[in-house]
Amino acid sequence: MALSGKLISPQTENDLSKMTYQTGKTVGSCMIVDNLLNELGISAALGKSNMADLVKWLIFARLNEQGSRLSSVRLADRHDASLFGLKNLMKIIYIVL
């Protein structure tokens, strides 16, 4: 292995070339904002409703990218909105707009 100071054999390189990579929606920044909202008491102040979940997502979108509400829909293509309790984000945001 390269990290342990050993050379990678050609046979190992062939095994690595067969590896596949998968990417999905990111959750790290969503989790940070969700924890921040909980620590500041914003989540408790908003309560538990669909509109509260939407407000949390819009706060996340504003902190992550300074765009429009429509850009927050596009942001859901890259980030996991279900962490905030939103399942059909596109439909919900268009209703709000």
Interval 24-55: pLDDT, tens? 677 788 889 999 999 999 999 999 888 888 88
pTM (2 decimals)?
0.65
Task: State which amino acid sits at residue 76.
Answer: A
Tokens at 51, concatenated: 């509109």
Q: Count CB atoms within 10 A of the CB of residue 54.
A: 22
Q: Which residue has the tokens 């979940």?
A: 53
| 83 phi/psi in degrees, rounded to 5 | -65, -30
- The phi, psi pair for 79, rounded to 5°, reads -120, 155
Q: What is the pLDDT of residues 45-97, one digit of tens each?
A: 999 888 888 888 888 888 888 877 678 778 877 888 788 877 776 666 666 65
How far is the C-alpha of 81 from the C-alpha of 53, rounded, in Å?
9
Report the alpha-carbon distance of residue 33 to residue 63 in Å, rounded. Answer: 8
